Structure 1
Amino acid sequence: MTTPSANSRAASVRLLSRVLQKQQPLEEALDPVLRGFPPRDRALARAITSTALRHLGVIDALIDKMLDRPLPEKAQDVRHILRIGITQILYLNIPSHAAVHDTVALVPDRSKHKGLVNALLRRIDRQGEKLLSKIDIPRTNTPSWLWQSWTGHYGEEATRRIAEAHLTEAALDISVKSNPEKWAADLDAEVLPTGTLRRATITSLADLPGFDEGEWWVQDASAALPAALLGDVTGKLIVDLCAAPGGKTAQLAAAGAEVIALDRSKNRLKRLEENMARLRLPVTVKVGDAENFAPERQPDGILLDAPCSSTGTLRRHPDVAYLKSQADVDKLSQLQARLLDSAAQALKPGGLLVYSVCSLQPEEGEAQIAALLSRNPALKREPVQANEIGGVGDLLNPEGDLRSLPFHLGGMDGFYAARLRKISTPSA
């Protein structure tokens, strides 16, 4: 008879296959694979899979070091089984005997690899820490294309700190409508200098005080900063481009702006509308392509949180490192440039444009804005001041743009944001 824990481990193998072989984001794979699983088994499968992805470089290095010869290409499931077994032994609080026994049970009895899996997992149980001590963990855990990009832009020391931060799962960050000190006490959270609330432990959101009343929403501390760069938005028309799922939309509406939230995905906008309904915030929602959006009247401000590679979110989405490539960054950079040109055209003279991406790639951040300013003389950078972001000057680059890194403030998403003022109407 198959035990629930074995079901969870088998599901983890299927999830790894979907992510690493079919290139499906983990969040999209969870429901199809785990449909009908009890909450506890679902949580275990998710924890095993996300942890395996978080440490995948090191886990694969251990497997390759222990093998006398590489596994054949057709034995990918065997590698996945080894990955989840090593994950449980080294990184999760699961008794080794249970991890080994239940993981080996996933290998078919007739498979010639069953003894191999058993032997390798038992060796990891005995010698895992010693083997780990011989590995450059930050470097090994980071795909080469990311390591090369980051060392070229940030330097090796900062890149190592970024890679080390990715080994820790993100805390629960919360944005509140008002009175952060009160809600920090009610939610057992701390108030960060930037105003975000942070809980060390993650639990069912609906069970927390204020959720049903719409007093707060989940939003990474760095993701809460770009909307604040628009300043006092009371009574102003602000367009939030690529708005779903709506964290920044909620910030703007809660601050008193007249908000138009635009997104091309009806399904994602449906989620945004549900979020705004819970938060009791009035927002005008429009389905449309931000590249071609022409509002009826020119807005006072535009927030363009552009589609990007999401490499700044690896603490929460470790699969991104294996789903994206430099080719994706290059393609997205072209889209971002078109979106910026369209947003600049739509903005009224004197208005503010805030551009942001949850990416660590310079092509999507610093280089993107440098290129925009060189081709559009109607825009001028308006540097961000430290007092606008809680006095945390480390979050600003030399040009006065926001550049948060995963090791800042005890852990936050990697984000880039620039604020631009439209000083004139572009000449025909």
Structure 2
Amino acid sequence: MRDTGAVVAVELQQKKLRLIRANSERLRLASVAAHALDATNASALLALLAARAVGCDASQGADVVVLDAPCSGMGTLRRNPEHRYQDCSRLEQLTALQDRLLDAAAQCVRPGGALVYSVCSPLEREGGERVRAFLRRHPAFTCPPVHTTHLEPFAADDAALGGERRVVRSWTHRHRGCDSFFAARVIRDL
């Protein structure tokens, strides 16, 4: 992007919002605008996109929406061993929130655009299961194979999503220095 276009960052927690703003300033990224907003509110997200549109028609939605969803953080156990003692009921709440966030984000993607979903968790319930459930609820989206060279070492098979190399995963024990995470890109039909 070379700091062109518009990056609209949405975060509900003030502490994280301050970090986004501080890093944008430190990196001199004028294209990034961070806003405090509940990302489960699709109407508010669409209004924000329309207000921030620069040289494009935001009424169709964004070219790319990246959802780095709240999760159990189980992929960061190496750095945060206390995560192993979480209450299982919290996982139910998190997966319900992840579904609501995905549904709202989907409304913000233009036809032909992409939604990237990521979590710092290796748990199938927060990764592949969320994407498969999303695709059942939103048949206008598909999950294409990963063809990006720098992601090849992390591309993973998911038979339920149509076969080989549909998602990106890192594993702490396989990819030295990395936390475990999951990501998938879904494309909205034209």
Is 1:419 the equivalent of 2:167? no
Partner in structure 2 of residue 366 of structure 1: 128
One-letter code aligned to 2:119: V
Partner in structure 2 of residue 287 of structure 1: 36
* Rg comparison, structure with higher value: 1
The C-alpha deviation readout for 1:5-47, integer Å capped at 9, x for no partner, is xxxxxxxxxxxxxxxxxxxxxxxxxxxxxxxxxxxxxxxxxxx
TM-score (norm 1): 0.38
Distance 1:328 1:420 in 2: 26
Distance 1:341 1:329 in 2: 18
The answer to which of 312-321 and 255-264 deviates more is 255-264
Asked if 1 retains the 8 angstrom alpha-carbon contact of 2:155 and 2:167, the reply is yes
Partner in structure 2 of residue 396 of structure 1: 155
Deviation at 1:371, TM superposition (A): 0.8
After superposition, where does 1:165-184 map in structure 2 within 5 Å? none
Consecutive unaligned residues in structure 2, runs of 5 or more:
51-57, 159-165
Distance 1:329 1:396 in 2: 25
One-letter code aligned to 2:145: P
Asked if 2 retains the 8 angstrom alpha-carbon contact of 1:386 and 1:396, the reply is no
Asked if 1 retains the 8 angstrom alpha-carbon contact of 2:68 and 2:119, the reply is yes
Distance 2:171 2:20 in 1: 27
After superposition, where does 1:326-405 map in structure 2 within 5 Å? 326-385=88-147, 387-389=149-151, 391-392=152-153, 395-399=154-158, 400-405=166-171
Aligned length: 168
Asked if 1 retains the 8 angstrom alpha-carbon contact of 2:3 and 2:29, the reply is no
Higher strand share: 2
**Percent of aligned pairs with the same amino acid:** 38
TM-score (norm 2): 0.82
The C-alpha deviation readout for 1:157-193, integer Å capped at 9, x for no partner, is xxxxxxxxxxxxxxxxxxxxxxxxxxxxxxxxxxxxx
Deviation at 1:257, TM superposition (A): 4.9
One-letter code aligned to 2:123: Q
Q: Identify if the C-alpha distance between structure 1 residues 319 and 341 changes in structure 2 by more than 3 Å, giving closer, same or farther.
A: same
Distance 1:268 1:375 in 2: 30
Deviation at 1:388, TM superposition (A): 3.8
Q: Identify if the C-alpha distance between structure 1 residues 255 and 405 changes in structure 2 by more than 3 Å, giving closer, same or farther.
A: farther
Is 1:306 the equivalent of 2:69? yes
Partner in structure 1 of residue 19 of structure 2: 271
Segments of 4+ moved more than 6 angstroms: none
Distance 1:267 1:375 in 2: 33
